[in-house]
Structure 1
Amino acid sequence: MPAIRTFLYEFEWNESVKSYLLSSFFWGYVVTQVPGGYLSAIYGAKYMLFFGVLICSCLALLTPFCAITGGWKTVVVLRAVQGLCQGVIFPSTHTFLSKWAPTEERGRLVGYSYSGSQFGTVVMLSVSGYIASSSLGWPSTFYVPGCAGILWSFVWYFYCSSTPAEHPTITPAERRYIESSGQARRASDVWREVEPRPRTPWLRILTSGPFLVLVLAHCANNWGFWTLLTEIPTFMKSVLGMDIKSNGPLSALPYFAMILLTCVFIWLSDAMKQRGTILPLGFSRKFFNTLGMWLPMLALIGLGYITEGEANVRLAIALLTLAVATNSATYLGFHVNHIDLAPNYAGTLMGITNCAANFMSILAPLIVGLIVWDERNPAQWRIVFFCTAFVYFMGNLLFMLLGRTSVQDWNTPTRTPTATSAAEEREDVAGDRSPLIEA
């Protein structure tokens, strides 16, 4: 995204064309979410990630050539294909983590993995201006990340495996530790006993109460997150008189703070576990999800009362940074819940929720456009901030009340009720009765 924004300044295309260019990526992105999770479960996350990143990186190298020779329509098609390639990345990552992340380390590894996308944004926002002003010119903002993506793809291909069992250099102790971890082990034991591979239980997934709550939480989070990132810069320019889009380091500040707070939240999660108190998994997920959605909610309410003035500009930047950065706590909240509910279908679940959530990412700016017809009117922006805060509030409230962390029975192709499994289920449900709900 930083590269495409730099690229738009080089061509005299109207605002309508620029909107097509910026949105065309998401046309393809939402299409391959569900197929990406499904195919990664069948063929392995290693290959889906390899081809997804490799093809997208090669297309990045072709972007300047397509823009010069084919015009904006060619670039729109190219970016839509890039979206198709990148749509498989998050679902495949979830599939990969469901195989490799022990239950005790699941939140930590998900947090570190997904904070990588913010790290890439920080780097490109900070250096894209310097790269564009080099002797290679603006095309280098596509050449540099394109080459980096190709290099990563081959490193990934030669050193990674979809499962611990397929890794050539893993030690028996490491494999035993990963594969014997908690509920994931019990589920995979049953999975391996069934041949041929069972069909995905689509109907049971789409009618599962805990999963539907997860979909709503993901949609609410994307609504708020993308409203912040796409509309707050317009608010600050129109109402507060400051253009942060043209300031690379300032634009990168929320993402940088997000990376730092991800590490802080992971440390806090580990510290809570090491104090000797056994916290239910349900409480941990809902506690961090509350931090990740209700702290941004409070920051949005504060932004609604910001007025013009130099001191208020600094306060607005602080609130924006706080809202974006604290949202990283959801990496240890609903983001991990797909793997909690169904380790065998984690990628498919992520594909479904991320597809629905990205429609919210498209819808939210359109709703803002209907509310804010005068960009200089603070009262209209206040309505936007309060509505977004309400979405954050309801999304997390539903997750607190109705969200679950126990492995669902449709995760396994067959399930024979036993006294042991019944006891485990009672323990899981008890773990979901977190103090947040009781309070």
Structure 2
Amino acid sequence: MKIKYKNIKKKMENKEKYDHNKTKAPRIGTRHIQCLLIFFGLSAALMQRVNLSVAIVAMMDKNSANPDFEEYVWSEKTKSYVLSSFFWAYFTTQIPGSQLAHKYGGKIMLFCGIFFSGLLTLLTPLSVRIGDWKLLCALRLCQGLFQGCVYSSIHTLLSKWVPPEERGSLGTFCYTGIPFGSVLMLLCSGWIASSSYGWPGIFYFSGMLSLIWCLAWFFFGASSPSDCKWLSTAEKLFIEGALVTSAQPEHAHTPTKTPWAKILTSVPFWVLLVAQSAYAWGFWTLLTQIPSYMKSILGQDIKSNALKSSAPFLANMFLTLVFCVLANFLIKRGYTSVNASRKLFNTIGFWVPIVPLILLGYMRADQSELAVIMLVIAVGVNTAGSLGFLVNHIDLSPNFGGILMGMANCAANIMSLLAPLSVGFIVTDAKNVHQWRVVFYITGAMYFIGNLLFIFFGQTKIQPWNYPKRQLDERHHIKFETIKIENECQRNT
């Protein structure tokens, strides 16, 4: 009877597998359109952050920008305040934003974050003329407040739209919008600043693109497959059938209670938080300081500065696609497990850039080409971390992936705030290469420690607190009924 029970169970499992394959959606579907929209939305959000990094070079150097626009004489410390002001309030709305995205859906929160931040981007030139750097800091602070929900909204959307087997590739593709937005902004900003639009054109360009994206997202975006009117039945069944660990469709609009205590005592989550904080320190140190480093140490003008500053992020975007293909190949062929893949690519993204970063601190003005190569390696290979820690939130908890991202990103963006400020305190003389060397050493140490902890303590196993109490009760009931059936079968034999 025991053998018969196992055979019946095996047949049921095969039937479920067959039914799932029958409802398999086309390779390209609505979920890919949603991911493409998220990709461009994240690009728009990053453009709003990066625009000031290049614009400030033109704003403080009349000879390298359009002479028709005012030059601002700010100290290095003041400049660090301006560059870091976006993050002063950004981290405060991470957790509230994730809760709102969990409750009301990722679509509306992502729309609001980028729309209001885009409006403030258009007002940036006016704010500088009226209130100099102080009003500029206030405006950037407000932008940070609005954008605090962006990443958690995206993770919430991915947990609803992307099946587990496509999570690595589609999830990482969405976050490729980060280097894409950076490259687009860095490439265009030098030309815009030297044109008749001057440095204000940099803000008008990024602001208008953001509002155009908002219009497209309003009409075509959706919080979940059940909210999408033009999603085919086959694809809807495929997605919901694949997301067996996510919230059930009938509970999609019933917010479950967040297990805060269990999350805060979870070792894998804390390790993820540290890894994300280390990544944020390095990424934003390089992103906000590369234009200044290129000008002060390598003596590059605004046009070549923008071109060479964008080269590392262009490599970052290209290598993201390469690493995605490689990761899928290794997992599908069975060469690596999901857990091994996360740690392998996190190691590549964190530890490989350490060497070029240290070498970067020893570059001279006549070695600008070699310095660009070092930056390309450091920033380009760094993208492998996207296949490591960046999707690990959903690995640990598909139901609360957006909330985990909000919590981790809150801590990470404290680092994003401290990184530019630390550069302002360390680099008192922008032409002193020894001071820049300290900046690169600190960044390398952050990468090393963050990945070391992730290797030893990181996990991809779904945590027990992922399941709401109601689902756990159902699971216990099913298990209890199964045991009853087994006992009954044994008595009958």
Using the size of structure 2 for normalisation, the TM-score is 0.77
> Given that residues 2 and 128 in structure 1 are in contact (C-alpha distance below 8 angstroms), is that contact kept between their aligned partners in structure 2?
no
Q: Kindly indicate whether residue 265 of structure 2 is the aligned counterpart of residue 216 of structure 1.
A: no
> Given that residues 194 and 413 in structure 1 are in contact (C-alpha distance below 8 angstroms), is that contact kept between their aligned partners in structure 2?
no
Q: Alpha carbons of 1:77 and 1:374: their partners in 2 closer, same or farther (altered >3 Å)?
A: closer
> Given that residues 80 and 424 in structure 2 are in contact (C-alpha distance below 8 angstroms), is that contact kept between their aligned partners in structure 1?
no
- Match among 211, 225, 235 for residue 150 of structure 1: 211
Amino acid at match of 1:308: R
Unaligned runs of 5+ in 1: 422-439
Residue correspondence of structure 1 range 292-307 to structure 2 within 5 A: 292-304=349-361, 306-307=362-363
- Match among 309, 320, 323 for residue 378 of structure 2: 323
Following superposition, the deviation at residue 216 of structure 1 comes to 0.7
Question: 1:185 aligns to what?
Answer: 244
Unaligned runs of 5+ in 2: 1-48, 61-69, 480-493
Following superposition, the deviation at residue 147 of structure 1 comes to 1.7
Amino acid at match of 1:58: L
Following superposition, the deviation at residue 160 of structure 1 comes to 1.2
- Match among 33, 41, 57 for residue 102 of structure 2: 41
Question: 2:346 aligns to what?
Answer: 289
Amino acid at match of 1:251: S
> Given that residues 88 and 417 in structure 2 are in contact (C-alpha distance below 8 angstroms), is that contact kept between their aligned partners in structure 1?
no
- Match among 74, 84, 97 for residue 158 of structure 2: 97
Question: 1:207 aligns to what?
Answer: 265
Post-superposition CA distance 1:102-140 (Å, at most 9, x none): 111111112211111221221122122333444444433
Distance of 1:120 and 1:375 partners within structure 2: 27
- Match among 301, 307, 310 for residue 252 of structure 1: 310
Q: Which moved more, 1:1-10 or 1:407-416?
A: 1-10
Residue correspondence of structure 1 range 11-50 to structure 2 within 5 A: 11-15=71-75, 17-50=78-111
Question: 2:393 aligns to what?
Answer: 338
Distance of 1:79 and 1:377 partners within structure 2: 29
Post-superposition CA distance 1:81-114 (Å, at most 9, x none): 1111111111111111111111111111122111
Amino acid at match of 2:118: S
- Match among 377, 397, 400 for residue 455 of structure 2: 400
Question: 2:283 aligns to what?
Answer: 225
Following superposition, the deviation at residue 286 of structure 1 comes to 0.9
Distance of 2:433 and 2:137 partners within structure 1: 34
Q: Kindly indicate whether residue 258 of structure 2 is the aligned counterpart of residue 197 of structure 1.
A: no
Question: 1:116 aligns to what?
Answer: 177
Amino acid at match of 1:33: Q
Q: Which moved more, 1:254-263 or 1:215-224?
A: 215-224
Amino acid at match of 2:285: T
Amino acid at match of 2:191: Y
Question: 2:408 aligns to what?
Answer: 353
Identical columns (%): 45
> Given that residues 36 and 347 in structure 1 are in contact (C-alpha distance below 8 angstroms), is that contact kept between their aligned partners in structure 2?
no
Q: Alpha carbons of 1:194 and 1:248: their partners in 2 closer, same or farther (altered >3 Å)?
A: closer
Distance of 1:291 and 1:64 partners within structure 2: 40
Larger radius of gyration: 2
- Match among 317, 324, 334 for residue 277 of structure 1: 334
Post-superposition CA distance 1:161-183 (Å, at most 9, x none): 100111001111111111122xx
Q: Alpha carbons of 1:167 and 1:230: their partners in 2 closer, same or farther (altered >3 Å)?
A: closer
Question: 1:308 aligns to what?
Answer: 364
Post-superposition CA distance 1:303-346 (Å, at most 9, x none): 35x35363x43222211111101111111110000011111111
Following superposition, the deviation at residue 195 of structure 1 comes to 9.2
> Given that residues 245 and 251 in structure 1 are in contact (C-alpha distance below 8 angstroms), is that contact kept between their aligned partners in structure 2?
no
Following superposition, the deviation at residue 68 of structure 1 comes to 3.0
Post-superposition CA distance 1:3-57 (Å, at most 9, x none): 4342634342422544433222112211211111111010010000111111111
Distance of 2:150 and 2:378 partners within structure 1: 25
Distance of 1:388 and 1:75 partners within structure 2: 27
Q: Which moved more, 1:195-204 or 1:115-124?
A: 195-204
Following superposition, the deviation at residue 391 of structure 1 comes to 2.2
Distance of 1:227 and 1:2 partners within structure 2: 12
Q: Which moved more, 1:111-120 or 1:137-146?
A: 137-146
> Given that residues 28 and 81 in structure 1 are in contact (C-alpha distance below 8 angstroms), is that contact kept between their aligned partners in structure 2?
yes
Q: Alpha carbons of 1:207 and 1:317: their partners in 2 closer, same or farther (altered >3 Å)?
A: same
Following superposition, the deviation at residue 250 of structure 1 comes to 0.7
Q: Which moved more, 1:315-324 or 1:156-165?
A: 315-324
Amino acid at match of 1:270: N
Q: Alpha carbons of 1:71 and 1:407: their partners in 2 closer, same or farther (altered >3 Å)?
A: same
Q: Which moved more, 1:341-350 or 1:124-133?
A: 124-133
Q: Which moved more, 1:198-207 or 1:41-50?
A: 198-207
> Given that residues 84 and 420 in structure 2 are in contact (C-alpha distance below 8 angstroms), is that contact kept between their aligned partners in structure 1?
no
Q: Alpha carbons of 1:245 and 1:334: their partners in 2 closer, same or farther (altered >3 Å)?
A: farther
Matched length = 414
Following superposition, the deviation at residue 388 of structure 1 comes to 2.8
Q: Alpha carbons of 1:376 and 1:213: their partners in 2 closer, same or farther (altered >3 Å)?
A: same
Q: What root-mean-square deviation, in Å, do the aligned CA atoms of Structure 1 and Structure 2 show?
A: 2.8
Q: Which moved more, 1:337-346 or 1:22-31?
A: 22-31
Question: 2:325 aligns to what?
Answer: 267
Secondary structure of the residue that 1:405 maps to in structure 2?
coil
